Every structure is written in C-alpha cells, then in structure tokens.
Amino acid sequence: MREDMLKSILSDLNGSSADIEASAVISTDGLMMASLLPAGLEEERIGAMGAALLALGARTAQELSRGELEQVLLKGSQGYVLLTGAGRDAVLAVMAKPSAKLGLIFLDVRRAAENTAKIV
C-alpha cells in the first residue's frame, strides 16, 4: 500500500512537467522504495548511486559549513539529475531533460518530497 501511495506521488510529479523523464523514491540505505523509471535503468544501481550522492553531498555541506543539505543537482550533456531529501529516511530522485525549466521543477519536487516524507 505504501508503494502505491509513493507511485501516485511520482506519477503526479512526472505529469507536472513534460521535462521530467523519470523519478524514484530511494531509502537513505540505497533501496528502491518506488520508481517510475524508463526501461533499461537498473533500480538497484539507481538506488545505490542516489543514496551515495546524497550522503556525499551532506558530508560536503557539513564540512564546508553550508548547513543542512537540501538537494544535489547534477548536470550532464543529456540532462539533469536532482536528488532531494524526503524526510529523514528517503531521497526523491528526478531525471529531467537538458532544456528543463529548473525553477518549476524545484517547486514541484519540493512538494513531492514533502508528501513523500509524510508517507515514509
């Protein structure tokens, strides 16, 4: 039931912008809790990398006195990956197109992360 609720949040998020290509909720341990990923992407690998990136980002923010980590943004030639904390135990990962309007996506992701945190 929890997975269905999380998938509903992801579905709403993906539908909020044509620029969002995929999304997932990952535990801070790297386990996939729910996902809407394109074929060919391995859930286990995405989960492990997402958790590792968020942990490294949190450590970096702490070491550089930047406060508590809010999000990690990666930009590649084929688009963006945005990782946002969703409560203490989960991470919301979003893949977006290179032409994405990030301001709007940040707002939608923040709302989805808040809703996710209530469930997780």
Owner of token pair 């992407």 = 41
* Dist. CA 93–CA 1, nearest whole Å: 21
104-114 confidence digits (pLDDT tens):
999 999 999 99
Query: What's the pLDDT at 26?
Result: 95
Report all structural domains of the chain as residue ranges with CATH numbers, in order of start: 2-119 (3.30.450.30)
Backbone angles phi, psi at 108, to 5 degrees: -65, -40
Residue 120 has pLDDT above 90, yes or no: no
pLDDT digits (tens, 9 = 90+) for 56-66: 999 999 999 99
Q: What is the pLDDT of residue 35?
A: 95
For residue range 63-97, what is the model confidence (pLDDT) as tens digits? 999 998 889 999 999 999 999 999 889 999 999 99
* Residue 60 and residue 54 in contact, taking contact as beta carbons nearer than 8 Å: no
Give the ranges where the chain is alpha helix by DSSP (H): 2-16, 43-63, 102-119
Rounded Cα–Cα distance for residues 32 and 61 (Å): 25
3-state DSSP assignment of residue 84: strand
- The full length of the chain comes to 120
Q: Residue 25 and residue 113: Cα distance in Å, rounded?
A: 9
Measure the CA–CA gap between 88 and 119, rounded to whole angstroms. Answer: 12
pLDDT digits (tens, 9 = 90+) for 17-53: 999 999 999 998 999 999 999 888 899 999 999 989 9
Residue 66: the pLDDT is 94
